[in-house]
Chain A
Amino acid sequence: MRLLWNRFRADRSAVFGAVVAGLLVLLAITAPLLTALEGQDTTSFHNDLVDSARGGVPLGGFGGISPQHWFGVEPQTGRDLFARIAEGAQVSLLVAICATLVEVLLGVAVGLLAGLSGKLVDALLSRVTDIAIAFPVTVFSLALLAIVPETFPRPLLVAVVIGVFGWGGTARITRAQALSLRTRDFVAAARLSGASGWRVARREILPGLAAPVITYGALLLPTNLIAEAGLSFLGVGVRPPTSSWGQMLSSATTWFRSDPVYVLLPAFMVFLTVLSFTLFGEGVRIALDPRSTRLSRKAA
């Protein structure tokens, strides 16, 4: 563990990723608090802050940034942008994390079953996994999100849909790892001492899966974040009045010329989040990979 920490700390880009990701999580957790501190909320209209003569462009420079409105206000409605960006962080991260959990749980379950059962089950599950991997998540999520009734809580639905279509990779990795672990001596020893199949899976195989699954999960998170932003951008993800970055970007498309800050702000947030979590995930992967050292990573 200590070794891991040292190796991780030596990796500058991973540390940068970890710090920024940590700050973003903090922003998401404390979003209501910070918004209260700013003295604004996510939904109040401020008609006095937008120039109705010019189609509702925020008054003042840089999208109406002021001590009262840290990130300016939304064009047309004058809603506070900092409050909406912060709420967006909450929604985006929550959806991404839940989706990743669903993917990892499903993936590990299917992968273990495939890796430890007989040939027939393995062949069947592997085939299903192949299909799941080949499918375009967005197309199917889009179709599904269209038909589920509006009353179902939207962020949860988005998370489940992304997760249900994205477990293939985890399953493949779990299966491969389980196949290699089951031939090891300590597993044979456990079997011989009379442990049941379930017990072998839980006590002997599962701990050996932790490293690859954590690594993969860390890299899944940014992918899921992009998926959520994409779905919301297409208008089928998180619905108003809840704000999300993707949804802000889609409404920003008509404000290019008059209010560029409104476009750049959510775009930058998505970029920063995905980048930091990716660097962090890469750092975890490299630290957990016994073969890699600083030197060989430079080369690879």
Chain B
Amino acid sequence: MLGYVVRRLLGAIAVMLAMSAVVYVLFYLMPANPAQLVCGPKTCTADRLAMVEHSLGLDEPLYVQYWHFLSGLVVGRDFSSGPSVLHCPAPCLGYSFQYTEPVLDKILEALPVSLSIVIGAALLWLTFGIGAGVLSALRRGRWLDHAVNVVVLGGFAVPAFITSLLLLMVFCVYLQWLPFPSYVPFDEDPLGWAQNLVLPWIVLALVQLPPYVRLSRSGVLETLTEDHIRTARAYGLTERRVIGRHALRGALSPLITVAAADIAAVLTASMLTETAFGLPGLGRLMVQSVNQIDLPMVVGMTLLIGFVIVLCNAIADVLYAVVDRRVRVA
């Protein structure tokens, strides 16, 4: 078991290294001069350009630049910017010259917003997704099953940003039941926090719902045909106990891995949701950085997001091995 975990994690680290090299080369070899981009379209002078070029280390060969980037992750790095020295403490993902802040600081600033959205929504989609899936499996072919099916199809056919716009229109403009969302930190005003985030939660949950409904539905249907369920029934256990104690356990364990591997989809959906609602989370930071062509910011965030996803997938594999012993051999 330990061997498997170590192998899997080493594999993940190798993938991250390869990924960082690819992203780095891709972004710093583009025809556009990164210094020009970093320098900004309006504020740039020849002096400033040369300075940025030097402080980014662009006058050095590419492998040296990449090495600086990697070592920056571990020990931090300094950017000499004219008279002053900008320090970027480890783990340094880069330095945004537009915000004059290390990339990581900006990310940490936006993180609570995104986490608030994702965690609240995750609670919703896990409860309702699994609940609806199990119920529609038990009432298969009846109206409840069909109704759930329609909602699931709707969740797939209406992209997150459209649901966001429609909900905003109905609840904030016409009915005026809710304020236009803006982020209120949880520790300042828990009620306001929830009130502002309830629409993003619903949107994200609707988008994430379909696979959970489908998997728990088919999982329950499949488990119900298995021998141990027949045995449990033959023992005379109540239907409630058969399903609650015996069917659900077998049916829901695959969901663990789905949930962990789902992180990429969540990130994408929350990016669209945040932009639609104008909430200052990671997604919106990414979109803004892209639109302002803040290259260090974009590279840093892309890499961090990539790392998180690779790690989550490794964790998912390990969790799966814990749940299902057969996997470890492979």
Contacts and interface: CB of A to CB of B under 8 A. Distances in A.
B305 interface: yes
A252 B165 contact: yes
A270 B156 CA distance: 12
A229 B209 CA distance: 20
Nearest to A223: B156
Contacts of B157: 222, 271, 274-275, 278
B287 A142 contact: yes
Contacts of B162: 249, 267, 270-271
Nearest to A225: B159
A263 B173 CA distance: 13
A291 interface: no
Interface string B130-147: 000000000011000000
B309 A136 contact: yes
Interface string B149-166: 000010011111110011
Q: B-side binding surface: helix, strand, loop or mixed?
A: helix
B141 to A, nearest CB: 7
Given A147-B32, A298-B141, A234 B275 contact: yes
Contacts of B306: 135
Given A131-B15, A252-B165, A257-B173, A147 B159 contact: no
A233 B268 CA distance: 13
A234 B287 contact: yes
A136 to B, nearest CB: 4
B275 A143 contact: no
B286 A142 contact: yes
B284 to A, nearest CB: 10
Contacts of A230: 159-161, 268, 272
A15 interface: no
Contacts of A274: 156-159
Interface residues of B, number: 49
Interface of B: 11, 15, 19, 26-27, 30-32, 37, 140-141, 153, 156-162, 165-166, 168-169, 173, 218, 261, 264-265, 267-268, 271-272, 275-276, 286-287, 290-291, 293, 295, 298-299, 301-302, 305-306, 309-310, 313
23 contacts: A127-B15, A131-B15, A134-B261, A136-B267, A139-B302, A139-B305, A142-B286, A143-B27, A143-B290, A144-B26, A146-B291, A146-B298, A147-B293, A148-B30, A234-B272, A235-B287, A236-B290, A236-B291, A249-B162, A249-B165, A250-B161, A271-B157, A275-B157
Given A142-B290, A230-B161, A274-B156, 13 more contacts: A135-B306, A136-B309, A139-B268, A139-B305, A146-B290, A146-B291, A146-B293, A147-B30, A229-B159, A235-B291, A236-B287, A278-B156, A298-B141
